[in-house]
A = this chain, B = another copy of it.
């Protein structure tokens, strides 16, 4: 049984997938397919993936057959499983629970294209719509405290051997450390100022201009003031909103075109760099969580963080959490703005 274990000092959770779950053998099978020149994510090869969870499809097409636009399947080597019991328990001074959750793969296009940056904005819009659908569905399950969408592009960013453009979704029964830090930090700021820290940041960036890469009526792309990585980019909705999945359709279109523009600028400037992106949206709220989450819709602000990964993280950064970034965000924004697209 996969477990979630808690560090008794810092409260950080770690997932231990079940070594006996066949995680490795399924991965090896995928690698074998790739070696034979078969891409399991291409249209027509649906039989090589587990049965689909969801797909955007044309009217006539059938489940697990061709004719889809975006397709969602379970991860063949999931870090978590959808199990019936959370079973929070103690092992003397330690805390653990079953690693209940979902681990899905969003195949972003039926064609064999590697980088999301190379898809049309209209296709990226469909990917965003799929993210929304899956998050809304999973948040119905109150065991799942948070749902993340993320992407590993390129080997250095931890991508799988499958090059075909895809992102992943993980739903977990805990609030992971980094999200908790953001939630708590944003709440502290709100308690003190009665304003959202992200909204204040957006206002300041709009007036300072130096760290803005591009924007449209609904979204802003900036290099954050304390960027951890060279050319790190955040995309934020201009109007306050805690939850990505509550975004209306017209906004999704604007997000798609801004996301495409940012990824394209990064691709051209940095010569197709490996990158990660991660969507930070508000956690799944239930009444019993009470006071702490009460103001959350006012004090948290969803956003996407994009991190090019062409520098290695060394022991100092790992061990301390203090990052060293050789390029100032002002320089980075300047060069990203300067890219001809």
Contacts and interface: CB of A to CB of B under 8 A. Distances in A.
Interface string A299-341: 0000001010000111111111111111110010000000000
A323 B185 contact: no
Interface in A176-218: 176-179, 181-182, 185-186, 189, 197-198, 200-201, 204, 208
Contacts of A158: 312-315, 317
Nearest to A320: B176
A251 interface: no
Nearest to A198: B9
A172 interface: yes
A7 interface: yes
Interface stretch (A28-36, A40-48, A56-64, A220-228): A220-228
A316 to B, nearest CB: 5
A93 B211 CA distance: 14
A93 B148 CA distance: 29
B280 A331 contact: no
A322 B174 contact: yes
Interface residues of A, number: 77
Nearest to A80: B324
B13 A322 contact: yes
A239 interface: no
Interface stretch (A15-23, A66-74, A121-129, A136-144): A15-23
Contacts of A315: 150-152, 157-158, 276-278, 307
A182 B12 contact: no
Contact of A13 (B150, B159, B197, B226): B226
A291 B292 CA distance: 26
Given A8-B189, A23-B326, A326-B17, A150 B319 contact: yes
Interface of A: 5-17, 19, 23, 79, 91-94, 148, 150-152, 155-159, 168, 170, 172, 174, 176-179, 181-182, 185-186, 189, 197-198, 200-201, 204, 208, 224-228, 276-278, 280, 305, 307, 312-328, 331
